[in-house]
A and B are shown apart, each in its own frame.
Chain A
Amino acid sequence: MAEPILRVENLCCGFHTEDGYIRVVDSVSFECEAGKTLGLVGESGCGKTVSALAVMGLLPQPAGVVEEGRILFRGEDLASTSHDTMRVVRGQQIGMIFQEPMTALNPVHRVGKQLFEALRLYESGLEKDELTARAVEALEQVGIPDPERRLREYPHQLSGGMRQRVMIAMALAGQPEILIADEPTTALDVTVQAQILDLLRELQQERGMTMIFITHDLGVVAEFCDEVLVMYAGRIAERAPVGQLFKTPRHPYTHGLIESLPRMDTPSRTPLNTIEGVVPKLTEMPAGCRFSNRCSYADERCGLEVPALESCAERGAVRDPRDPNHDEETRAAEPRAARHEVACHHWQRLAA
């Protein structure tokens, strides 16, 4: 198996607040395979953005803390590395784009100036002409028509889709190997979202970039990601290749989430399936499985014992059984992407 480009092990992070320390991300582990897209999906407050910020070393300071865990990028632990190293990693190795490009762009500077700044960071000593040429090229790559004019404009003069394209151009200026996209299309209209997703897909193929795609939209996950990590209240509930996640969701939460979507091919005006209740507050989490207070499968054990992430892959689904090399050894060496894991005491009941 190829060494994953990014491996996060047992990441725990949280914030110091007036009410004391609150852990927001609890024992999260995942790997990103080079050139693939990993989806981080979950509802507001599930810790998906905080996990990504921790990887970038961008947790708000001084409140945000990475308590424990390792973030291994090409074997180097980013959680314990120096600020100087992180400055190099950010942008040149791992880039990030955010949900609302209007807040990420500086409203009082022209687009050109901001893009120049990004370009200068990675390559010092560029002449003005060269810089402009580079910037124009960068904007062309993200599909912005008339880039010379756009460079002289301010962010508010651009549409939402254009702004997100500028953000993508800035994030890619350092030629990162991994791009973390945090809800990059959530603030955009569907048709613009389709444009941006197409662009990201194209850029990923051209550059062989790895992507971590954070979203709450299961539709986007289905169309864009290779592997998916479903998070609930700071923990991983389920991880699976995208096809399996939608075909055979094993965690009651994932199942409920998929079932509660209004579908285009079902009759309208019928009640939707729901997950009753609300996510518990971070300060009032159940001791065991955090979904236990909303789960119809929950019993006493769920309230007390934290379920571990265990494999729930069907043998046939993992590998063709006719394959003569199908034994335990080769199974263990298979890429992670073929694995399906769930953190639930009762996944077998759900599967049945």
Chain B
Amino acid sequence: MSAPLLEVRNLTKFFPVRAGVFLRKVGDVHAVDDVSFTLHRGETLGLVGESGCGKSTVGKTILNLLRPTAGQVLFEGRDLGTLSHAEWRAVRRDIQIVFQDPMESLNARHTVGQILEEPFVIHKLGTPEERNVWARDLLERVGLPRSAVSRFPHEFSGGQRQRIGIARAIALKPKLIICDEAVSALDVSVRAQIVNLLLELQHDMELALLFIAHDLSVVRHVSNEVAVMYLGRIVERASSNEIYDQPCHPYTRALVSAIPLPDPGRERERIVLEGDVPSPIEPPPGCRFHTRCAHAERVCAEKTPEWETVTPWQQVACHRWRELQEQTGP
């Protein structure tokens, strides 16, 4: 297999918690703790989890919008943490991001043309005339009229704005796009349009996508591989079929069973988790899920589970997955 496009090794990001008159550090928010994964050219990795599990922090840390506390991010084999400013600028062309709310990520006072030309201006590409043509080409590429260059973001619907956000992201022909809840705010019928657009662009441009979202059914649909996060850690990694057909981690099982299916009358086992996610300031020792896990034993509270291989396409970090699988069947 070829070298991965993106390799994240033991990525850790803590945010200090300060208190008192002198703002002394009193603790850390363990936002991302020892997260590792790889992503190959032209493929999609889905990062799924609930609010506060650290999935967006992973995305921002890869882009160096946040500095990692520990760990490495390797892009095409180069450690992004060691790059100079000039080198970063070059890498930024290859890594782009699409956010959830395009109304917040697009400058409301700029025309769509200005927004789409900006990447070229920053990277000193083309003449003003060329940039204008490129901006129009980009609009056409994402399914908007070329004439939209002279309009403002507020004149568009949510789905159209997200198309503009995607057009900006693909302007510099990146190799990787981080989609941070890129389709979460959209209505169902529009969401399907945007998902299709992303899949199409990915195919045409050989894009790799890091697809961060809380909606497992959408994540599963766009991804080759899915990583499930809970409280700063990845608890299970699997190909998109396995993650639904035979989830191994008790948290993944609960997550899968909690998705309401548009299929009335279908009987299935529902696992409803008790309580709330514990605070990431003092995450539980051992397996972070043990406080809410119905199958937890003493070992779960004492020892952090190691990665175990279920199949070549599926790894799980759980002490008890084997027994659970025997109990409930695959």
Contacts and interface: CB of A to CB of B under 8 A. Distances in A.
B256 to A, nearest CB: 8
Interface in B150-165: 157-160
A159 interface: yes
A81 interface: no
A268 B191 CA distance: 15
Contacts of A300: none
A197 B276 CA distance: 15
A145 B263 CA distance: 33
Nearest to B215: A190
Interface stretch (A121-129, A175-183, A219-227, A316-324): A219-227
A246 B195 contact: no
B315 interface: no
Interface in B192-223: 192-193, 195-196, 199-200, 214-218, 220-223
Given A243-B264, A264-B244, A162 B276 contact: yes
Contacts of A262: 192, 195, 217-218, 220-221
Contact of A268 (B221, B258, B260, B276): B221
B222 A269 contact: yes
A268 to B, nearest CB: 4
Contacts of B220: 262, 264, 268
Interface stretch (A203-211, A271-279, A341-349): A271-279
Interface in A22-69: 43-44
Contacts of B158: 44
A45 B301 CA distance: 48
Contact of A220 (B255, B260, B276): B260
Given A190-B216, A190-B258, A191-B258, A268 B188 contact: no
A264 B261 contact: yes
B187 A43 contact: yes
B189 A43 contact: yes
Contact of B221 (A221, A269, A274): A269
B296 interface: no
Interface stretch (B118-126, B265-273, B306-314, B322-330): B265-273
Contact of A161 (B160, B221, B258, B276): B276
Given A43-B189, A219-B261, 15 more contacts: A159-B276, A189-B50, A190-B258, A193-B260, A194-B258, A216-B187, A222-B260, A242-B264, A246-B262, A263-B217, A264-B244, A268-B223, A269-B44, A274-B196, A278-B160
Interface of A: 43-44, 145, 159-162, 189-195, 197-198, 216-224, 242-243, 246, 256-258, 260-266, 268-269, 271-276, 278-279
26 contacts: A43-B190, A44-B187, A159-B277, A160-B51, A189-B51, A194-B257, A219-B217, A222-B264, A243-B265, A260-B191, A261-B188, A261-B192, A262-B192, A262-B195, A262-B217, A262-B220, A262-B221, A264-B244, A265-B244, A268-B221, A269-B44, A269-B199, A269-B221, A269-B223, A272-B195, A278-B159
